[in-house]
């Protein structure tokens, strides 16, 4: 093998190794970026408590609105006028 071929083969090997190391560095950077978004367990519990309160309020509103809608339906049935549904 001549000197030119040896240099070309070595250059190709270095190019492949550099490409692999670049890919590994990019993956590590993305991993680091995703870990920065990590949420502490105590913060999560606090946020979940707020979400539970909102869900309880929402459930109460739905219950109240369900009673109202049932009364409206009963009234429409009583007077014999069909309910027009929004499209």
Q: What is the domain partition of the chain in residue ranges? A: 1-38
DSSP state of 39: -
Do residues 18 and 11 make contact, with C-beta atoms less than 8 angstroms apart? no
80 in the Ramachandran plot: left (φ > 0), alpha (ψ -120 to 50) or beta?
left
Task: Please tell me the predicted confidence (pLDDT) of residue 75.
Answer: 87
pLDDT tens for residues 2-29? 888 899 999 999 999 999 999 999 999 9
Lowest-pLDDT choice from 7-16, 55-64, 67-76:
67-76
Kindly report the backbone phi and psi dihedral angles of residue 28, in degrees, each rounded to the nearest multiple of 5, phi listed first. Answer: -65, -35
For 13, the token pair is: 């090997």
Look up the pTM and report it: 0.40
Q: Is the pLDDT of residue 43 over 80?
A: no
Q: Is the pLDDT of residue 44 over 70?
A: yes
């Amino acid at each position: 093998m001549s000197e030119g071929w040896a240099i070309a083969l070595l250059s190709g090997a270095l190019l492949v190794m550099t490409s692999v190391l670049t890919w590994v560095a990019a993956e590590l950077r993305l991993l680091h970026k995703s870990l920065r978004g990590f949420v502490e367990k105590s913060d999560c519990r606090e946020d979940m408590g707020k979400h539970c309160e909102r869900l309880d309020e929402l459930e109460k509103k739905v219950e109240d609105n369900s009673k109202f809608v049932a009364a409206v339906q009963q009234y429409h049935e009583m007077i014999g006028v069909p309910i027009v549904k929004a499209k």
